Amino acid sequence: MIASLDRIITIGRATLVEAVRQRVLSVLLIFGLILVGASVFVSTVVTPGLDAAGLFDEQIKFVKDFGCGAMGLIGFAIALLSTAQLIPQELHNRTIYSILAKPVRRGEFLLGKFFGVVLLLALCVTLMSLAFAAALYWQEQQGIAFAHGLYDQQMAGHHTPEEAKAIEAQYQKDIQDIVGKVRDPQLIEAILLIFAKLVMTGAIALLISSFATSSIFTIVTTFMVYLIGHMEGVAREMWLSRGADTTVWQSAMVGLLSMIIPDMNSFTIVDEILAGNRVPWEHTFNLLGYAGVYTIVLLAVSEVIFRFREI
């Protein structure tokens, strides 16, 4: 068991090193970091008719939307591109022969390659999260500086002690508001959910590449499955809800589809978090568990297919 784990880790580490040394993925990651960092500059575009507090709220929301959006988009591209070429590239380069001629099970090889992609995604999400945190921190400091300037301006004139106390209280409230909006612990939930969705996307791509003969086929098919995964929730609601005018076949098809293809739409709960609505940790853990179970099932099916594949 430990020897098997060692082999999986060895293959995973080599996969990560390969991905890191590949220019395409590095460029993609740098692009992601720039995108997240650039959100603070794009957010300064002023929406007319907003007061200072409204403007700050909008800028913070923009940075959060832009940062998490970039993380999801670049992460998706990295998950798809790196996983789709795992098996076809090994076959094309014939590197698979020298590895599988060693005491390595095919399942260990597959899990090792996937583990490498998960490590890569974890690295990318961590780096982009750090850039995201830096962007938010910058925005926070801007807000604090603005509130401080306002406070100085208001305190400049002659005030009664009650008025000064009220200005001081307002200043403290503004600072608390700014810090509370920026240092939102729910953002950790959002990042975890984005990561889980990326891992699940990678697992879908791995399943398809376990029988596909080309990377292009894997990329296109995974993208289609990803889209269906986003739409299946709507179809389920329409066709499986009470009173819906559907045939048995339509119901069966939607039922089967929702069993085979993971419901990607559930992860749009991230948008609720970014909108400032509270999502309980329990719900996040349920979704993480859902992603975990689906990933394990997808890996198990991939292993069975790959075990019998002619290489």
Partner 1 sequence: MTKVFLIGKTVAMIKVRVMESSVDTSPLAVQTMGLTKRYPLAWKRKLLVALDHLDLQIRPGEVYGLLGPNGSGKSTTLKLLLGLVLPTEGEAHIFGLPPDSLEARRRVGFLPENPYFYAFLNGDETLRFYGKLCGVTGSKLDKRIEELIELVGLQNGRERPLRSYSKGMLQRIGLAQALIHDPDLLFLDEPTAGVDPLGSSQIRDLILRLKKMGKTVVFSSHLLEQVQEVADRVAIFSLGKKVLEGSLDTLLAGEQGTQIEISSDLTPEQREKVRQSLTQAGVGGDVRFSRPRLSLEQLYLQTVQPKTAAPAQETSRP
Give yes or no for residue 310 binding partner 1 (CB under 8 A).
Answer: yes
Give yes or no for residue 17 binding partner 1 (CB under 8 A).
Answer: yes
Number of H helices, E strands in the chain: 12, 0
Whether the CB-CB separation of 74 and 32 falls below 8 Å is answered with yes
**Looking at beta carbons, which pairs linking 129-134 to residues 24 or more positions away fall under 8 Å?**
129/71, 129/191, 131/32, 131/33, 131/36, 131/37, 131/67, 132/36, 132/67, 132/68, 132/71, 132/191, 134/37
Task: Between 94 and 242, name the residue whose CB sits nearer to partner 1.
Answer: 94
Select the span of 90-98, 173-181, 256-264, 290-298 touching partner 1 (CB under 8 A): 90-98
In angstroms, give the least distance from the CB of 24 to partner 1.
13
Q: Lay out the site mask for partner 1 across 162-181 (x = CB under 8 A, - = otherwise).
A: --------------------
Closest CA to 138 of 40, 270, 48: 40
Give yes or no for residue 5 binding partner 1 (CB under 8 A).
Answer: no
Out of 31, 41, 97, 285, the residue judged to bind partner 1 by CB under 8 A: 97
Q: DSSP letter string over 202-242?
A: HHHHHHHHTT-S-HHHHHHHHHHHHHHHHHHHHHHHHHHST
In angstroms, give the least distance from the CB of 28 to partner 1.
17
Task: Between 12 and 143, name the residue whose CB sits nearer to partner 1.
Answer: 12
Select the span of 16-24, 36-44, 60-68, 175-183 touching partner 1 (CB under 8 A): 16-24
Whether the CB-CB separation of 270 and 193 falls below 8 Å is answered with yes
Residues recorded for the chain: 311
Give yes or no for residue 1 binding partner 1 (CB under 8 A).
Answer: no
Which residues lie below 8 Å from residue 288, measured CB to CB, with a gap of 6+? 192, 193, 196
Out of 49, 103, 180, 185, the residue judged to bind partner 1 by CB under 8 A: 103
Out of 45, 48, 49, 93, the residue judged to bind partner 1 by CB under 8 A: 93
Give yes or no for residue 11 binding partner 1 (CB under 8 A).
Answer: yes
Note the residues at the interface with partner 1 (CB under 8 A). 3, 6-7, 10-11, 14, 17-18, 21-22, 93-95, 97-105, 308, 310-311
